[in-house]
Chain A
């Protein structure tokens, strides 16, 4: 009978060791949770031990159970903190479980407790099955309470926070399709199980606290559980940044592209024409953290690179300009370190999925209709603009090689209105000169053009030049779509003098110079003055949206154009008023494009001013 009882006691003790080990590892080592689990009936029965169902134990635990040869050997479980930066490991916690068998002489010397007389009696009358069974049940009950306490304490100790950070990152890495922000941790948690552990150094002991659980007495000894833990983990600088895996996006598009593959950043960006911009961002793609599964709207927000790890305080526009690749390279290294880590018990970062890069746009985008444009501008935030520390003047932008861009050949034919306004001149030369944004001189314009047309061309050139500069910083085919209509739009705008969206701080002189009357000019001036007061990109976007929403119908443009034409512009006005529906719609398209062009320009200016790059007013090439 004593043998049977000892066997049952030993069974309780061995299962207690395994259960406690599972409790500790499930609460400290995330990758064990993510790994394979030992299933089967045996595991399910073992899971019910001590009335604490934790699920199937990790497969690794099965092998650990074989390690524990004797219940008399203590089990020491070290929870290790592995830091990527220093490649070192530190013991966060040390759990020690020990079964101390009691000798027959020591049993009688124990202080009297409510149970001790019973235990003493048991020791003397071990043949009493009922007493032994009662003692066995009491031991089991106390083990249940002890395990509950261990489970609760594991969640109150400082290391639990590190576990949560790491487990969140591990789960996100294992399920990248959930569109959650992936997380990178600069540490990892591991474990070590042994029957003997090296004692801590004096320095380590000073940083440790001790917590002893009340011992559980068995018929033949007692089970003790204690933990030594670091009470302050701040020295380790544990971080879990909600970052996307570092990737280089070579084809970054800032414009609100439609659903589909992102448009390519044209490789022929002005890197050699004085277009000062960070070498990395437009030419090689913005430093962007994201997965390939990320939806397009995430690519740009009102606060560019808001979730960017290098944004805000970490990285400024100047830093981007200075050594973006250097910074990014550093981040890549960190990521590779994590990806390449294969420490004992470490999370398998090799499983970290790398999303495919964005595929470049196969072709430039077609010109967008005004409705789509308005919807896009209203539903999406401002395009992400790269803070360009433009050191030159605006003419730098005007020298944007839109002309050299082969995609410009896909520009739509000139507006019939333009053609009508230029009855005495050939379309192609004027339009070519109209579109030219580099070194545009007034003298290049045909002298036969009316002054208003020349003025409009001049303004359009500036607008398109600026706009081209803006778009080239963002890149993408929509640039083409916008630019090819921007010229017409600006020209149309000048003729119509009615564009409600012609809000540009740079255009203030233009609006002042324009022969304005009525509402359109005042609106422009008001918008211009309001632009100057903008201090944030969000305000710019909001105003843009507001303008789009409150813009008068385009049909009013015609009426405005009729009024603005005046006697001095009879030819244009007459041509305009006599235009058919097709010309009107073409003008609408151009007008919308120009409006959007100006809006983007304004936003870019806002961002530049915000990033500390104060752009001087664009000097106009007259």
Chain B
């Protein structure tokens, strides 16, 4: 089975917007991939005039919040850097217990690359915080600029959401049979860049080797 990969459009976000943008994107993806019985919950974004949909599953929300917090922590330690959050759906294949490893083989059938370029606010004082509001720009011109940036980000985020919707609609055949017992239907994992930034790419490479990505074979 092929692993469909979707690289979402990169978004330039400010530190205080990271949390909300990630929530919006991850919940939208999971709403389309958590094919169990859901009672959808409409959530108004805090910083944008966007309403996204959550599955209404507490466990799923909790897991997403944890990953969002981890990413925000990473952002604090790596200011003004591009970060990528990887959302992967996999199937658990036969457990192979060998002499050297007892790991469970995961067969990834879909990966979502959420690309964020976290910008530091201009004239920021002190250490940036993931959930903190940005430092106020002096003067009205700064506010206008931040307002235009916010509007641009909102439009870009809306594009990303439509990109997600388009992808999930066009790519349906690779979806395995859902597990009717849980809301999420499919096991998934959210990978946050590790604090040792250099190892993030290595981890992605390892995962690609494990899944036997078609691009690796071509």
A contact residues vs B (CB 8 Å cutoff): 48, 51-54, 113-115, 137-138, 141-142, 144-146, 148-149, 151-153, 155-156, 160-161, 164, 213-214, 216
Contacts and interface: CB of A to CB of B under 8 A. Distances in A.
Nearest to B53: A152
B93 to A, nearest CB: 20
Interface string B42-73: 10000001111100000000000000000000
B169 A145 contact: yes
Contacts of B165: 149, 152-153
A214 B170 contact: yes
Contact of B161 (A113, A152, A213, A214): A152
Interface string B153-191: 000001001100100111011110110000000000000
Nearest to B42: A155
Nearest to A214: B169
Interface of B: 28, 31-32, 35-40, 42, 49-53, 158, 161-162, 165, 168-170, 172-175, 177-178
Contacts of A54: 39-40
A53 B42 CA distance: 13
Given A51-B36, A152-B32, A156-B158, A146 B169 contact: yes
A213 B169 contact: yes
Nearest to B164: A152
Contact of A156 (B31, B37, B162): B162
9 contacts: A113-B173, A114-B173, A137-B177, A142-B172, A145-B168, A145-B172, A149-B165, A151-B40, A155-B42
Question: Which one of B51, B172, B178 has the greatest number of beta carbons of chain A within 10 Å?
Answer: B172
Given A141-B178, A149-B165, A151-B53, 18 more contacts: A51-B35, A51-B36, A53-B39, A54-B40, A114-B173, A141-B177, A145-B168, A149-B32, A152-B28, A152-B31, A152-B32, A153-B165, A156-B161, A156-B162, A213-B169, A214-B169, A214-B172, A216-B172
Q: Give the secondary structure class of A's interface.
A: helix
A216 B38 CA distance: 21
A160 B51 contact: yes
A405 B165 CA distance: 73
B38 A53 contact: yes
A588 to B, nearest CB: 49
Nearest to B55: A148
A168 to B, nearest CB: 12
B170 A144 contact: no
A146 B175 CA distance: 13
A114 B4 CA distance: 13
Nearest to B158: A156
Contacts of B36: 51
B32 A48 contact: no
B53 to A, nearest CB: 5
Nearest to B172: A142
A160 B174 CA distance: 32
Contacts of B169: 145-146, 149, 213-214
By Cβ-Cβ distance, the 5 closest A-B pairs, closest first, are A214-B169, A155-B51, A114-B173, A53-B39, A51-B37
Contacts of A152: 28, 31-32, 52-53, 161, 165
Contact of B174 (A114, A146, A216): A114
A164 B50 CA distance: 12
Contacts of A53: 37-40
Contacts of A51: 35-38
B168 A149 contact: yes
Nearest to A53: B39
A317 to B, nearest CB: 30
Contacts of A141: 35, 172, 175, 177-178
A148 B51 CA distance: 14
Given A114-B173, A141-B172, A156-B50, A52 B40 contact: yes
A265 B35 CA distance: 64
Nearest to A142: B172
A186 B175 CA distance: 46
B186 to A, nearest CB: 11
Contacts of A216: 172
Contacts of B37: 48, 51-53
Contacts of B28: 152
A48 B36 CA distance: 10
B51 A145 contact: no
A156 B158 CA distance: 8
A50 to B, nearest CB: 9
Contacts of B170: 214
A115 B32 CA distance: 20
A290 to B, nearest CB: 28
Contacts of A137: 177
